[in-house]
Amino acid sequence: MDETIIRANLARIWERIASAATRAGRDPANVKLVAVTKNRPPEAVRAAYACGVRDVGENRVYEALEKQAALADLRDLRWHMIGHVQRRKARDVVGRFVLVHSVDSVRLARELDKRAARANVSRVDVLLEVNVSGEPTKYGFRVVTPEDEGPFLEAVAEILSLPRLQVHGLMTMAPLVADPEETRPYFVALRRLRDRLTEEFPEEDWSQLSMGMSNDFEVAVEEGATIVRIGTAVFGEQ
């Protein structure tokens, strides 16, 4: 893919992030851009790297591993796992990603912890994926009503007790809608849930909110996103 196009796209994205952060009284430097490379060839990732991208996000484990092998010379490229991880693939995730955004069950958390122990990996950095919209097609801990909070807090307590997992915050995917403003309530809900967890588990790190994609990242930044996951706006339509 043409580096010139990617560079121009990135410049526009950073301008929009900066404007959104300023509107919210935030420092744009506190927002990390993860370029989503799902279904993009290694050459596109390499072009993005040449334009300054250092954090890339993959949805599928095996696709990520193939690209990691093809781009092994880019030693400071940071890989994020942002898609659903099946428990049987947990062993392929441990030690290969700087951050797993999509821990969506206690069972997966236990498996990652177990696989880390077997591989002698001291720490797996993760986010807890939360389904705040209630959409049945989405993964994540379902936290839509006040009644959902109790079971979620119990699950969080168990995950926090796992010795090799380090939780850094939350992730969500808002519904895909025509008007980005309609996503705001879901980002507000995730931020408020993060604030609740900070009260319940004040000794833990809840600094990261991974939310917002190409269609709604400005709203997400306004509501506190520290990580935005952007693919189409960087690379164009597939």
Alpha-carbon span 63 to 39, nearest angstrom: 8
pLDDT in tens, 24-34: 999 999 999 99
Instruction: Name the one residue in this structure whose structure tokens are 């490229």.
Output: 77
Find the helix or strand (DSSP H, E) in which 210 lies. Answer: strand 208-210
Start-to-end C-alpha separation, the chain: 12
Half-sphere exposure of 82 (CA within 13 A, CB side): 27
Domain spans in the chain, listed from the N-terminal domain onward: 3-235
Whole-structure pTM value: 0.97
**Quick one: 3-235 is in which CATH superfamily?**
Alanine racemase (3.20.20.10)
Find the helix or strand (DSSP H, E) in which 50 lies. Answer: helix 42-50
pLDDT in tens, 154-199: 999 999 999 999 999 999 999 999 999 999 999 999 999 999 999 9
**Residue 84: C-alpha distances to residues 7, 93, 114, 128 (Å):** 29, 11, 18, 11
Spans of the chain below 70 pLDDT: 1
Instruction: Name the one residue in this structure whose structure tokens are 């915050």.
Output: 169
The residues, ordered by sequence, that sit 6+ positions from 42 with a Cβ below 8 Å of its Cβ are 67, 70, 71
Query: Which of 158, 164, 122, 128 has its CA nearest to residue 143?
Result: 128
